[in-house]
Amino acid sequence: MAIPTYEEIMLPLLKILSDDETHKYKELEEKLKNVFNLTEKEVNSRRESGIKIFYNRIGWAATYLKKAGLIESPKRGEFKITEEGKKVLTERIERLDDEFLMRYENFRKFKKAKKLPEPPKKPPIGNMTPFERISNAYDEIKDSLIDELLEKLKEVDFYKFEEIVLDLLIKMGYGGSKEEAKERTQKTNDEGIDGIINEDKLGLDKIYIQAKKWKDSPVGRPVVQAFAGALEGQGASKGIFITTSNFTKDAKEYVERLTSKKIILIDGHKLAEYMIDFNVGVTIQELYEIKRIDNDYFEE
């Protein structure tokens, strides 16, 4: 039997979770292997990069079900059905796919679809160029990775979060060495300031840092204004406020109106994007080279 697609995996995966228990990833792989009667060779089949195809497709099936709100992940690598997932199973459907999941707003946001598709029409994938399909797939993979990074950032303790922030800023070209930045941070953990880094390697100017590892509550204007006051007390004019959640509209408007100082706000989504761009906490899974004809080579 051929290795099932991620869409073919979604409904059997949801049915396995219908027992209302929390299942680990490895356990799901074993159960799904039996559902599809796969051989060990098929289960262990890998791409050229070494990634197990079946394992990877289970991951995407779980990601899509999670985005639609049909399952949840209490801990990393563990999954459980939601009430909405139970409702879907009562419909006695024969198949789950992207088109079905588009009924859920959160899934549409994930797929960047502004409205429900008009049946029986499907997204005009066939009209896209290969480059457009690659670009769309890349965006989808990146969005999923951003969500995973945010989950990890909200799980780590503050000291690890502080270290991640320092690693990122140094990778971005700030702070000099990590040792210098860390030493200065440890000495300055007061008055609403979590750290100070050099703006450049020569230390010509300094940037003050505030970091809030908040899960859901947005950072409002009073907190940002207090940070601005702390900068004033230090005689500083530049600051970076980083949070794992987001900022309220009032907080954003407040920093835009500042004239005597510059404060950059980095919310959780932007923080995760920067981590991906500067390879902090992530590793390259696969690398594709897209080549074209070198016409100059063939010219005499």
At 165, which CATH number? 3.40.1340.10
Average of per-residue pLDDT values in the chain? 84
Would the pLDDT of 7 be above 70? yes
At 19, which CATH number? 1.10.10
Position 268 scores a pLDDT of 93
* 162 and 116 part of one domain: no
Q: Give me the amino acid identity at 121.
A: K
Position 122 scores a pLDDT of 42
Assess if residue 290 is contained within a domain. Answer: no
**Range scoring the smallest mean pLDDT among 126-130, 199-203, 204-208, 253-257:** 126-130
Domain extent at residue 244? 158-277
Assess if residue 22 is contained within a domain. Answer: yes
Measured CA to CA, the distance from residue 266 to residue 262 in angstroms comes to 13
Cα 223 from chain centre: 25
* Alpha-carbon separation of residue 59 from 10, 24, 25, 93, 152 (angstroms): 10, 12, 8, 22, 17
Position 272 scores a pLDDT of 94
pLDDT tens track for 13-34: 999 999 999 999 899 999 999 9
| Mean pLDDT in residue range 87-103 | 91
The neighbouring-strand residues paired with 81 are: 71
pLDDT tens track for 235-244: 888 999 999 9
> 1 pLDDT band (50/70/90 cuts)?
low
pTM above the 0.95 mark?
no
| Mean pLDDT in residue range 242-257 | 94
Whether the CA torsion 59, 118, 82, 97 is positive or negative: it is: negative
* 63 and 118 part of one domain: yes
* 44 and 98 part of one domain: yes
pLDDT tens track for 124-176: 555 666 777 788 788 888 888 998 899 889 888 888 888 899 889 888 888 66
Position 273 scores a pLDDT of 94
| Residue % of the chain over a pLDDT of 90 | 44
Assess if residue 63 is contained within a domain. Answer: yes
| Mean pLDDT in residue range 3-12 | 92
Assess if residue 134 is contained within a domain. Answer: no
Burial class (CB in 10 A: 0-12, 13-18, 19+), 298: exposed
* 116 and 30 part of one domain: yes
Would the pLDDT of 118 be above 50? no
Task: Provide the edge-to-edge strand list for the sheet that holds 262-266.
Answer: 195-198, 206-212, 238-243, 262-266
| Domain count for the chain | 2
Bigger pLDDT: 186 vs 44: 44
